[in-house]
Chain A
Amino acid sequence: MNAMQFILVILVALVCGMASVMDERQFHRPIVACTLIGLVLGDLHTGIILGGQLELIALGWMNVGAAMAPDSALASTISAIIVIVGHQSIGEGMAIAIPLAAAGQVLTIFVRTIAVFFQHQADHFAAQANFRGIEWCHIGALFLQGLRVAIPTGAVAAIAGTSIVSQWLNDIPPVVTHGLQVSGGFIVVVGYAMVINMMKARSLMPFFFIGFILATFVSGMNLVGLGILGACAAVVYVQLNPDFHDSIKAPAAATSAGTDDDDVLG
C-alpha cells in the first residue's frame, strides 16, 4: 500500500463512518464500502465479492427507532483491507467482520453519547439566534462519527501488510475458522428476523410462508422472478382487501362495490 492508497483508504473510511450514522447515501453498506476499498486498493473484483458476501449477512441490519444496527461501516472497511492487503480468504474476511461490527457499534454508542454535548452547545447558540453555531455543532458531531471509523481503519491499514496480522490470523485454530464459516451460512437469518419483526404484520405472515415454499420447491426461480411474484401478490392482496373498500364495509352501498378500485399504482 503506497501513501496515496493509504490516504484514499482513510478518506473512504471517513465517508463510510459519516454515512453510517446518517443512513442517507448508503456508503456504509458493505456492498458499497467494500467495493470502494477494493477500488482504492486496486483489487476491485475482491472488494465486490466480499461486499456481496457481507451484504447478505448485513441485509436486515437497520436503525429502527432508538435501536441501533451492528455497524457495517467499520466491519466492511477493515475486513476488506485485511482480505486484500493481508491476503486472506473471503471466508476469513467474513469471520472477522462480525466482531468488528460489534466494536463499531460500541464506538458509535460512545460518539452518540458525546454528541449530547453538541446538543447542549446548540441550545446555547439557539438562544443567541446563532445559525452558524448550530450548523457547526451538527458538522462537528458528524465529523466525529467519520473519525470513529477512519482512525481504526487507518490503524489496521498501517499494519495489514505486515506479518503481525497474518501471524495473528494463522494462530486461530481451524475449528474456530471453519465453525465461523459454518455459521456464515445461517447468520443471515438474524437480519431476516429483524426485517420481519419490524414489519409488525402478523396477519401477513402467510406471504412469508408462500415465499419460502416457492423458493424451496420451485427450483430455477431466481430472485427477480420471486420479486415479481411477490409484487403481484401485494397488488392483488390490496385490491381484494375489504379494509380498503368502504363500499363493501357499508352493506347499504354494496351494489357499487365493483366500481371502487382506486389503486395506488394508477
Chain B
Amino acid sequence: MTESTELKKVQPLTKRDIISTYFRSTFMLGSFNFERMQAIGVCVTMIPAIKRFYHKKEDQAAALKRHLEFFNTTPWPASAIFGVTAAMEQKKAEGGDIDEAAITNVKIGLMGPLAGIGDPIFWGTARTILAALGASLALSGSILGPLLFFFGINIVRMLTRWYGFQVGYRQGTDIVQDVAGNRLKKLTQMASVLGLFVMGSLVSKWTNIKMPLTLAHYKDQAGHLVTTTLQSTLDSLLPGLVALLMTFACMWLLKHKVNAIWIIFGMFAVGILGYWAGIFGL
C-alpha cells in the first residue's frame, strides 16, 4: 500500500463511534442464520465506521454490501477483526490503494486462524473452568457459584472485545502477523494444556458411575464373606476407568459427526438398560 499524495483527509473513529461499535458487537450473533451465519451482525457492528468514513450514498451501500458477506468465527475475539476492517475502510475512504476484495480477503483470512485461537481459549478453557468452579460452589446452594461464573466470564468477554477492537484498529493489517506469530500460539497452547488437564481431572472427579453387579462371593481366611462386584474389580485396576472409556467413545462418535444430542440420548438408553439389568446402580 503506497501512500499517494492525493489522499483525502478522513476523520478517524471518535470515542463515541468506538463505544457504539463495541455495544453493537455484543449483539453480533443475534441474527445467526444458515446462509451467511454472522453476517448481519457484522454489518450492524460496522455501521458506525461506515457512517463516519463514507458520506456518499453509493459508497455507503457498497460498504454495507461488503459486510453482509459470509462471516463465522469465535464471537469475542472477532472484535479484533472489526478493528482491522475499520482501519482498512478508513484507508479506502481516504482514497488509499485498497480494493473491496482486499478488505474481504483480510476478513475471511483472519476468521479461521482466530477461531483456532478463540475456541480453545474462550470456550475450551476460560468458560469451562469458570463454569466448573461456579457449579462446584452452586451444588451446595451458594450464590457465589453463579456470581463467580457470570462476572468472571463477562469480564473476560468485555476486555477481549474492547481491547481487541482497539488493537485491531491501531495495528490494521499488521495484526495478521500477530495472529500467525508465536505469542498467540503460545497462549493457545497454554490454554489447551490447562483445559486438557482440567478435563482429565473432571473425568475422574465429576463422574459418578456405580456398578454393584456381583461377580463372586467367597470366604476369606478369617472367615468373612467377601463380595466381589464389577465396581471393586474395575477399581482395583484403575478407578474411573469406565468414565475414561466412555469419554473416548464419545470423542470417537463426535469425530464421526454424530450429533451430540444423539450421543446424550444413547447414554440415557445405556443408563436405563444398565439399571434395569442391574449393571449400574444409584
Question: CB within 8 Å of B: which residues of A?
Answer: 18, 21-26, 29, 31-32, 35, 44-45, 48-49, 51-53, 55-56, 59-62, 64-66, 69-70, 98, 101-102, 105, 112-116, 118-119, 122-123, 125-129, 131, 134-135, 137-142, 145, 175-176, 178-190, 192-201, 204-205, 207-217, 222-224, 226-227, 229-231, 233-235, 237-238, 241, 244, 264
Contact = CB atoms under 8 A, between A and B. Distances in A.
Contact of B75 (A23, A190, A227): A23
Contacts of A192: 199, 202-203, 247, 250
Interface residues of B, number: 115
Contact of B186 (A223, A226, A264): A264
* Consensus secondary structure, chain A interface: helix
Interface stretch (B122-130, B171-179, B226-234): B122-130
A211 B200 contact: yes
A139 B280 CA distance: 48
Contacts of B115: 64-65
Given A102-B265, A119-B40, A190-B260, A205 B271 contact: no
Q: Which 8 A-B pairs have the closest CB atoms?
A: A183-B271, A211-B200, A52-B138, A179-B272, A230-B197, A142-B30, A185-B208, A115-B33
Contacts of B47: 131, 134-135
Which of B146, B183, B203, B204 counts the most chain A CB atoms within 10 A? B146
A238 B31 CA distance: 39
Which of A35, A65, A129, A131 counts the most chain B CB atoms within 10 A? A129
Nearest to A35: B146
A98 B265 CA distance: 8
Contacts of B192: 199, 201, 204
B239 A26 contact: no
A223 B205 contact: yes
B267 A190 contact: yes
A184 to B, nearest CB: 8
Contact of B197 (A119, A139, A233): A233
B29 A25 contact: no
Interface in B240-258: 240, 242-244, 246-248, 250-251, 253-255
A67 to B, nearest CB: 8
Given A186-B243, A187-B264, A24 B35 contact: no
A230 B199 CA distance: 10
A223 B136 contact: yes
B182 interface: yes
